[in-house]
């Protein structure tokens, strides 16, 4: 029986094929070559040891989700990104998937033109075309979801991303997926507490899996952030960064919320030292 993730991926394939008819891979490669060099998301997220006493925030521009439906209209994604940057977001995530999240590459373009922090192109990467597409539109970081890809794809897509100067966030949800991410030499590993096959959220998943990730890698807690208590929980259990969407797009003062989350995370990291 098809899972929610299977259905999302099927739609992503269809939409990508439509874009391929408009912009060839060769044209994308030319656009990527002409783009400004990718920014260093690894360092922005605390890649060096001296930076790991702070919890970094990946702030997400997210209009809707399959689990919650409409979250926010976000007429001006660039203005929201500016608030995120002003609040201290280390990376800004821009959802570009159309059908389930109401995102677009136009959102990525608008945000890239407004802010200078590293950008994550948040989508369901299934083909090298999307990686070239991400770089052509100014992304500095892409998402690879282990549950959607083979081991060879994880390695090949990671290698291509590095060749283009981008970092890779490799998303996991199970112990076996972490093993596969580590085998693929992932340096930035996310633990999504939402099961993309069912959309169920279990925040305890993070604490049970984060310790399996090598110390040299960056650990990203994904999903499930409702407020400071969740931020503290993730930071106390090994997160170097959190990826937050719904709690920010539904907040009237996202700039203040990012600062609040950053402070709470730093306190939790200090307490575990």
Q: What is the chain's length?
A: 273
Contact criterion met (CB below 8 Å) for 106 and 137? no
- Tell me the CATH number at 115: 3.20.20.70
Domain that holds residue 160: 4-271
The predicted structure's pLDDT at residue 51: 64
Residue 13, pLDDT > 90, answer: yes
The mean pLDDT value for 248-263 works out to 95
Token reading at 231: 């931020």
CA dist 13 → 9, 19, 50, 142, 238 (Å): 6, 10, 41, 17, 35
pTM exceeds cut of 0.85: yes
Beta carbons of 221 and 189 less than 8 angstroms apart: no
The pLDDT tens digits of the residues spanning 69-118 come to 889 999 999 999 999 999 999 999 999 999 999 999 999 999 999 999 99
Q: Check if the beta carbon of residue 157 is closer than 8 Å to that of residue 168.
A: yes
Tell me, what DSSP letter sits at residue 201? B
Domain count of the fold of the chain: 1
Place of tokens 């282990």: 146
Scanning the structure block, which residue is given the tokens 């001296």? 50
Q: Note the pLDDT tens digit of each residue in 123-154.
A: 999 999 999 999 999 999 999 999 999 999 99
């Amino acid at each position: 029986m098809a899972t929610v993730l299977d259905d999302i991926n099927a739609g992503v394939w269809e939409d990508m094929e439509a874009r391929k008819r408009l912009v060839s891979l060769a044209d994308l490669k030319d656009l990527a070559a002409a783009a400004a060099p990718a920014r260093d998301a690894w360092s922005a997220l605390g890649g060096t040891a001296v930076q790991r006493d702070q919890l970094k925030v990946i702030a997400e521009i997210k209009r809707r989700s399959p689990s919650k439906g409409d979250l926010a209209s976000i007429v001006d994604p660039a203005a929201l990104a500016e608030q995120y940057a002003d609040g201290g977001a280390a990376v800004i995530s821009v959802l570009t998937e159309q059908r389930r999240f109401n995102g677009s590459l136009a959102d990525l373009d608008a945000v890239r033109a407004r802010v200078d922090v590293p950008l994550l192109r948040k989508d369901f990467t299934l083909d090298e075309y999307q990686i070239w597409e991400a770089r052509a539109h100014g992304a500095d970081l892409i998402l690879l979801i282990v549950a959607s890809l083979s081991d060879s794809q994880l390695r090949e897509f990671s290698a291509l991303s590095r060749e283009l100067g981008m970092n890779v966030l490799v998303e996991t949800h199970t112990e076996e997926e972490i093993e596969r991410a580590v085998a693929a030499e992932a340096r930035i590993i996310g633990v999504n507490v939402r099961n993309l096959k069912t959309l169920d959220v279990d925040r305890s998943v993070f604490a049970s899996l984060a310790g399996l990730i090598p110390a040299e890698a960056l650990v990203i807690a994904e999903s499930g952030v409702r407020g400071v208590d969740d931020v503290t929980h993730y930071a106390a259990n090994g997160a170097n960064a959190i990826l937050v969407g719904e709690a920010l797009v539904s907040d009237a003062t996202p700039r203040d919320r990012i600062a609040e989350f950053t402070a709470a995370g730093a306190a939790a990291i200090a307490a575990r030292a």
